[in-house]
Structure 1
Amino acid sequence: MRTLRQINAVYEKILCSDMNERVKKKKFASLIREIKKDYHIPLIINKDWEQDHLEVMALYRKIEISRDS
């Protein structure tokens, strides 16, 4: 399991790369699956869970926004 710092480093590398957008989106989707699995993000995220996992959710949302843009 990678740390949040390691996942963020991979995210930054993808974001700054010159690969085409389709490939980037696939790589971001892969990171999202990884963080969901490794950090046990529930299907329905409630405020209590989110408050207890602020760093995880911040990175998760950052990756999600990049994937969807």
Structure 2
Amino acid sequence: MKNLADLNSQYETILHLNISDNEKDKKLAFLMDYMEKHFNIPTLRNVEWEKENKAVIALYRKYQ
């Protein structure tokens, strides 16, 4: 499993790629999906989960 620093690095790399916005969106969606599965991010907002996983949710929201 990738750590948050690795995921943030991938995010920054994607933002600076010389590709279409559509392709960037696809790559960012893949990262979001990865995070949802590996960090068990709830589908609906869960304040308690967010309190316990501040770094995860902060990075996840960056993608949006």
TM-score, with structure 1 as normaliser: 0.88
RMSD of aligned Cα (Å): 0.7
* Pair 1:35-2:38 in alignment: no
> Any stretches of 5+ residues in structure 1 without a counterpart?
65-69
Identity of aligned residues (%): 38
Distance 2:36 2:11 in 1: 15
Which residue identity lines up with residue 11 of structure 2 in the other structure? Y
Distance 2:46 2:22 in 1: 31
Q: How many residues align?
A: 64
Aligned counterpart, 1:56 = 56
- Deviations 1:35-68, CA, capped at 9 Å, x for gaps: 000101011221111011000000000012xxxx
Aligned counterpart, 1:46 = 46
Aligned counterpart, 2:10 = 10
Consecutive aligned runs of 4 or more in structure 1 exceeding 2 Å deviation: none
Which residue identity lines up with residue 29 of structure 1 in the other structure? A
> Any stretches of 5+ residues in structure 2 without a counterpart?
none
